[in-house]
């Protein structure tokens, strides 16, 4: 669940809706500068479904006793956070092993301590006493990734895409789309940069420079999508900003809040020379 305060309200966006926006961006990726991700349908699925484990929790969200507001994607207890993503992986595994591999690699990255304090990254802050539990979970993810690679390499249709250059570029793309979608969900983020976005599978990269021209108009440079402008919307609900007594109190308030789309237009911006030269020889 993604939360931000606005006036006397709390704007609530579901993780699953944020992920669907990532999937929309994945569908649009590709132009003369940015090579389309391959295998394309598996990549689209990974982007759109990487947070689907939140689905049931967001029907009955729980309150953080420290804030009297619901847990956000960053504040939810670590053990529950791991269980949500384990559930997501189990779902995706039933549909597409390559998509599951990308999501497993993405999930492992959520527990990277170096990302936990970086604005725009969906990293999970891990307390020191949770380190052993988290390390065990990450090791299980890595074993899962090894098994998936073995299966995918046995299939001629997917063997090539298990090469390290494909996997790393696709995971970097997934993370870039995750951050881009979060940027639309968190208007408190000002002008931002998403670094090291793959341009191709040969090591070329660029930094996306995001600028808020108006509250409804955002530019990105260099521009990675096949259409311009892109009309973007994401569903949100607004609840009163107050202390909620318990889970049921908040759940009742959320159930009464109507969904409304927050709309944006994404356009091509003017890239700096530096952003265009990342990864160049």
pTM: 0.92
Residues 222-271 have pLDDT tens digits of 999 999 999 999 999 999 999 999 999 999 999 999 999 999 999 999 87
Cβ atoms of residues 120 and 189 within 8 Å: yes
Residues 110-154 have pLDDT tens digits of 987 655 444 555 567 778 888 899 999 999 999 999 999 999 999
Place of tokens 């990277």: 112
| Lookup: tokens for 42 | 């598996």
DSSP assigned state of 114: G
For residue 113, what pLDDT is reported?
65
Residues 236-268 as b/e (b if ≥16 CB within 10 A, e otherwise) read bbbbeeeebeeeeebbebbeebeeeebebebbe
Give one word for 184, left, alpha or beta, with left for phi > 0 and alpha for psi -120 to 50: alpha
Backbone angles phi, psi at 226, to 5 degrees: -80, -20
Over residues 66-91, mean pLDDT: 92
For the chain, the average pLDDT equals 91
Residues 195-220 have pLDDT tens digits of 999 999 999 999 999 999 988 999 99
Over residues 34-40, mean pLDDT: 97
Cβ atoms of residues 173 and 43 within 8 Å: yes
CA distances from 168 to 23, 147, 153, 165, 201 (A): 18, 17, 16, 5, 9
Over residues 48-77, mean pLDDT: 92
Virtual CA dihedral for 219, 220, 224, 226, nearest 10 degrees? 0
For residue 117, what pLDDT is reported?
45
């Amino acid at each position: 669940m993604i939360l931000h305060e606005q006036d006397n309200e709390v704007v609530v966006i579901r993780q699953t809706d944020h992920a669907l926006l990532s999937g929309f961006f994945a569908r649009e990726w590709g132009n003369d500068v940015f090579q389309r991700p391959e295998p394309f349908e598996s990549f689209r699925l990974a982007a759109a479904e990487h947070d689907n484990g939140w689905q049931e929790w967001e029907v009955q969200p729980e309150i953080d006793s420290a804030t009297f507001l619901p847990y956000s994607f960053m504040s939810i207890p670590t053990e529950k956070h791991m269980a949500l993503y384990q559930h997501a992986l189990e779902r995706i595994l039933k549909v597409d092993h390559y998509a599951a591999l990308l999501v497993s690699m993405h999930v492992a990255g959520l527990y990277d301590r170096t990302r936990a304090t970086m604005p725009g990254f969906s990293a999970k802050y891990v307390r020191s006493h949770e380190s052993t539990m988290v390390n065990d979970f990450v090791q299980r993810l890595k074993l899962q990734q090894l098994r998936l690679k073995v299966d995918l390499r046995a299939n001629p249709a997917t063997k090539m895409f298990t090469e390290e250059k494909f996997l790393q570029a696709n995971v970097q793309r997934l993370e870039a789309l995750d951050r881009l979608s979060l940027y639309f969900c968190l208007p408190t983020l000002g002008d931002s940069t998403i670094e090291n976005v793959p341009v191709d599978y040969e090591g070329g990269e660029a930094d996306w420079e995001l600028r808020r021209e108006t509250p409804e108009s955002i530019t990105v440079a260099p521009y990675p999508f096949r259409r311009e402008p892109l009309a973007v919307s994401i569903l949100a609900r607004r609840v009163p900003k107050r202390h909620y007594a318990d889970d049921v109190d908040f759940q009742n308030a959320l159930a009464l809040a109507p969904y409304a789309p927050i709309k944006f237009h994404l356009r091509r911006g003017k890239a700096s020379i530096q952003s265009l030269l990342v990864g160049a020889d």
